[in-house]
């Protein structure tokens, strides 16, 4: 799949996206996964177009490589059914196929905040995998794919803001990482926007205590570490993800503009 430059692609305001984003949400619900995007003030609409264009293209590439499954295949394997149950299922599937509309892999959520966007992902898409592929392209190639977007921060999962919910969220995301049981050094990066539910220091204490509870071999070091727990707080929602120190440093804290500027020097 050929790559599109800015002149022909993501900054063209007349370019129509493949999916209908007109009915966008305006709030973040629990269990939302996706990406926060910081962008230039006053350029939010253009940033939205270029980031959705970039996400869609990379998503299609990963579908072709079988890294992601098509959304209509995002189901668990069926258990063995007897003949009558199988016939009922096939009839229901046919009826459902006639009424189903195309499911958007990405949904724009209007946060109603300057310089900040959020794109919600379908549950079958791993935000960290997709974002790292985009950052890898920016790091390895000389073509600038975005003009108005800077940071792109993946959110693996999220919850309503409370101490209890944050503890459960960290546990759920951590257990899906398949991290080694031996000693691991963690750091925590916290960003709060329009968020008054928990103080930053309290979020840090909850996060570090939970990590140590999940693995007594974990230590905390904010300067040199193996893994980074990213915590993004917005209004009444807390989202998290886990990435490696090498990824965070190589990709300039996931800032597309800084990656490109560094490559020019």
Whole-number Cα distances in Å, 185 to 77, 178, 216: 37, 15, 11
CA distance 117 to 10: 16
Measured distance CA(183)–CA(85) in Å, rounded: 50
Q: Does domain 34-70+103-264 bear CATH number 3.30.360.10?
A: no
Question: Could you give the percent of the chain with pLDDT greater than 70?
Answer: 78
How far CA 86 is from CA of 78, 99, 193, in Å, comes to 10, 20, 50
Provide φ and ψ at 119, rounded to 5°. Answer: -115, 120
pLDDT at 55 over 60: yes
Nearest to 43 by CA among 149, 143, 118: 149
The reported pLDDT for the residue numbered 180 is 84
> Are 229 and 188 within 8 A, CB to CB?
yes
Backbone torsions φ then ψ of 210, nearest 5 degrees? -70, -40
pLDDT (tens digit, 9 = 90+) per residue, 195-248? Answer: 999 999 999 999 999 999 999 999 999 999 999 999 999 999 999 999 999 999
pLDDT digits (tens, 9 = 90+) for 125-165: 999 999 999 999 999 987 788 999 999 999 999 999 999 99
Distance CA 70, CA 168 (A): 29
Q: What is the pLDDT of residue 30?
A: 95
* Distance of alpha carbon 254 from alpha carbon 132, whole angstroms: 9
As a dihedral over the C-alpha atoms of residue 232, residue 237, residue 242, residue 247, rounded to 10 degrees, the angle is: -30
**136-170: b or e for each residue (b if 16 or more CB lie within 10 Å)?**
ebbbeeeebbbbbbbbbbbbbbbbbbeeeebbebb
Helices marked H in the chain: 44-64, 83-99, 127-140, 163-175, 200-214, 245-250, 256-264
Sketch the domain layout of the chain as residue ranges. 34-70+103-264
């Amino acid at each position: 799949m050929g790559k599109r430059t800015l002149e022909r692609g993501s900054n063209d305001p007349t370019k129509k996206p493949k999916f209908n984003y007109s009915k966008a949400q305006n709030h973040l619900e629990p269990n939302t996964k996706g990406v926060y995007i910081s962008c230039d003030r006053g350029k939010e609409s253009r940033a939205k177009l270029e980031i959705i264009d970039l996400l869609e293209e990379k998503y299609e590439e990963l579908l072709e490589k079988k890294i992601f499954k098509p959304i209509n295949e995002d189901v668990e394997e069926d258990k063995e059914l007897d003949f009558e149950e199988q016939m009922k299922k096939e009839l229901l599937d046919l009826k459902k196929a006639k009424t189903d509309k195309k499911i958007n892999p990405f949904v724009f959520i209007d946060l109603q905040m300057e310089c900040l966007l959020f794109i919600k992902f379908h549950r079958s898409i791993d935000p960290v995998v997709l974002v790292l592929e985009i950052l890898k392209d920016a790091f390895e190639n000389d073509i600038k794919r975005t003009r108005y977007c800077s940071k792109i921060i993946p959110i693996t999962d999220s919850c309503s803001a409370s101490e209890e919910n944050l503890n459960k969220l960290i546990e759920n995301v951590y257990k899906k990482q398949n991290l080694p049981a031996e000693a691991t050094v963690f750091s925590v990066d916290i960003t709060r926007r329009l968020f008054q539910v928990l103080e930053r220091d309290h979020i840090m204490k909850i996060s570090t205590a939970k990590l140590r509870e999940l693995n007594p071999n974990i230590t905390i070091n904010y300067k040199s570490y193996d893994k980074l727990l990213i915590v993004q707080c917005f209004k009444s929602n807390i989202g998290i993800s886990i990435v490696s120190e090498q990824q965070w440093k190589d990709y300039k804290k996931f800032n597309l503009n800084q990656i490109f500027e560094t490559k020019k020097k």
